[in-house]
Each structure stands twice: as C-alpha cells, then as structure tokens.
Amino acid sequence: MQLEVIRQDKSKHPFMRGMLVHKLIQRGLSFDQAYQISKDAKSFFQEQAEVSTESLMKSVDELIVARYGKELLKGLAKELFPSGKQICVFRRNATAPFSKGLLTQSITASGLKPEAAFQIAFDLEAKLMKKDILRISKKKLFEEVFSTIKNKFDPHIADLYKLASRIDELDRPVIIYLGGASGTGKSVMSTFLAGRLGINKITGTDTIREIMRLVFKRDLLPSLYNSSSKAGIGMPKTLKKNDRLIGGFCLQAQQVSVGVKAVVDRAIKERTSMIIEGIHLLPIMEHAIKEGTKRAYHIPITLSLLNEKHHKDRFLERGKGNELRKKEFYLRSFENIRTIHDFFNLESEKNEIDVVDNEDFDETTNTLMQLIINTLQEQVNSNLPSKY
C-alpha cells in the first residue's frame, strides 16, 4: 500500500523517504539521523493509506523525541523551509545554485571519504537554510568548509582541501600523468580523478597515436601501427622474444611521446590543467620529472595490478560486441601485456615514479587523491618565495 500525503490545499502526493530526509536535514538533523527518522516514519504509517502534512510532521517530532530525546527536538527549526527556497553561490558576476553533490565532490579531493564529505555538505546547507542565508559567495562557502574540516578533522586535511579546491587558481597548470600497462584501469580512474579535482581536460595516448597515424604512413613509422602488445614485430630477430617486445614498446612510446609532448606544451601555454593517461607515457613522465616545476606542476603516477590473476580477470569481465573482440585479443596477448606491465613498474621505480596497485577501486581512488594533493602541495611550497 502506497502512503499518500495530503497537503493543506487538499492535493495529494506519495510519501517519499528521500523528500522527508531532505526536509529533516533542513530542520537541522544530521543525514544519519534524518535517514533513520524517515525509516521510522514509513514503518509508523505502514497501515495507513493517507496522512495529512500536519499529522505527518507531528508524528515525526514524536519519533525524534522517542529516538533522540527532547533536547535535540528543541534545537531544530520548528517549521520546514518552503521547498522553493534555493541557496545561490556567487563569484564575481557569475551565480550558480548551491549543489551538495558538487560540494561533496570538491571536499573528497582533500582525501576525506565520500560519506564524511557528504555529511559536511548536508550540514552546511542545513546551517545556511536555518539562518535564512540564501546567497553566499564562493569565498565564504570555501571558508565555511575549510573551518569545518579544520575543527572536525585535522588542520593538514583542511590545507589539502584548500589546495584541491583552488587548482584553477594556482600560478601554473597541473599536469597529471597516469601511466601503466593495458587493463590496469587508467581510463576509468582518469575520469574519476578529473571529476574530483575539477579538471576538465583528459587525453589518452591511444588517441594521440591514432592522430599520428593519419600524419605518418605505415612505411615511414611501422611501429605506430602495431598494438603495444605486438610491438616486438619488426624488431631484429636476433634478440630474445621479450627483448624484442620491450625494445619495440620503447620505440613506440618514444614516437608517441612526440605527440604527447605537443599536447602537454599546448596545455601549459594555455594554462590549462589536464590529465593524460596511457601506456605510452614512460618517456614523457621521465622528462616531466627532469623538467621540475618551471612551467607546470607535473605529477606522474603508474597504475599497476600486482596480482596477475586479477589482472587477467579484468579482461575476462569485458562486455559483448566490439568489447568482446577486444577481450579475446587481450587474453591472447596477456603474456606480453604482463611483460610490459612488469617493465613499466621497474622503470617507474627506477625513476622514482609512484606506483599504485589498483586492486580495490575505493582504496585506489583515496590513495591517488592523497598522493596527488600531497605531491602538489610539496611542489607549490617549493616554489613559494623564501621568507629569509
């Protein structure tokens, strides 16, 4: 039986826990408290077909007292805010609606878990609504979040949030390189990191290689036309199998790095932060380390899957159609992929490029976020003028 709520104007609408949670948060409950009360309310009215708004809210108050006590109820706003109210965030001449989702996303860039970030965003909205603050500057909003993180968690995390939320205001662009063998999750992770960091530009080396194939014909640069796992084709047969593969892979990566460098140089010239991902990044990652922070903040990272079985399972999980054909190709080439994987890891370690094992998505994203923001903070601090 679907419970319906009768409004004052006699119109009816279905009872929705999500809507009640939102309203209770506006009154001042935490997300967890509001969610629990909404569950209690649904159980309380499960035998009824209809309930008036007044009866619903009276019963909700009684449920709050029963579960959390009278003192908590006294501290809540007595009435719900009109549903039409909307907090606006402004910066210079631009204004946008307050978004808990976007704020949560920006807070997670500090390394806080999504649940904690979500709670901060919800509590802040409730606080602003309770004070009837419907217009707030982006700077003031940032200060509110910064203060909350500093007091509730840790000053260091607050500093990381300060840096992560102002990447677009740094004195030079941020270039994140996410390298690694096929099947280690570079593309998915790049998209996720871009969302968390507010970076709008992502480029893959496979795309760059495809463009280069339009410029350079097969007879001029034949290695460009082989997949990385078949890069040993055309290398001297006097070499051992793995040496041919790695030699061909390195040659291919060097060739693609010309296009990668052009893309990175353009981004730096336009002062645009970007994430570039792909299997061909070793040469440009090594170059970025040597260049330092003269023109941009360079953060090279290698994604790995140390468990060979789990690496193979990633290809087994691929879908149907074109993805199925790709899956079969990767499985046939898996031995070569692992050879490149191990070579990539060894070279990264040799060049002091951080290697992150992408075994668990949530753990990896948190590790990457902390690694990126901590590395960025070190680079930014190294460029600050000395006080002495």
302-322 mean pLDDT: 82
Residue-by-residue DSSP string for 58-87: HHHHHHHHHHH-HHHHHTS-SSPPPTT---
Three-state DSSP class for residue 93: coil
Mean pLDDT in the chain?
86
Would the pLDDT of 62 be above 70? yes
Three-state DSSP class for residue 202: strand
- Virtual CA dihedral for 351, 353, 356, 358, nearest 10 degrees? -80
112-131 mean pLDDT: 84
Phi first, then psi: what are they for 165, rounded to 5°? Answer: -80, -5
Where does the pLDDT of residue 388 fall: very low under 50, low under 70, confident under 90, or very high at 90 and above?
very low
| Model pLDDT, residue 252 | 92
Give the tens place of pLDDT for each residue, 160-185. Answer: 888 888 888 888 999 999 999 999 99
| Model pLDDT, residue 317 | 78
Phi first, then psi: what are they for 303, rounded to 5°? Answer: -90, 140
**pTM for the structure as a whole:** 0.72
Q: Name the range with the highest mean pLDDT among 48-52, 119-123, 264-268, 361-365.
A: 264-268
Domain extents in the chain: 4-74, 88-165, 171-376
Query: Pick from 346, 360, 349, 356: which is nearest to 310 by CA?
Result: 360
Would the pLDDT of 386 be above 70? no
Domain range 171-376, its CATH number among 3.20.20.10, 3.40.50.300, 3.40.630.30, 3.40.50.450: 3.40.50.300
Would the pLDDT of 84 be above 70? no
177-200 mean pLDDT: 91
**In Å, what is the CA distance from 238 to each residue of 44, 117, 231?**
80, 58, 16
| Model pLDDT, residue 265 | 94
Contact 40, 67 (CB under 8 A): yes
Please give the Cα distance from 385 to 338 (Å, whole number): 45
AA identity, residue 129? M
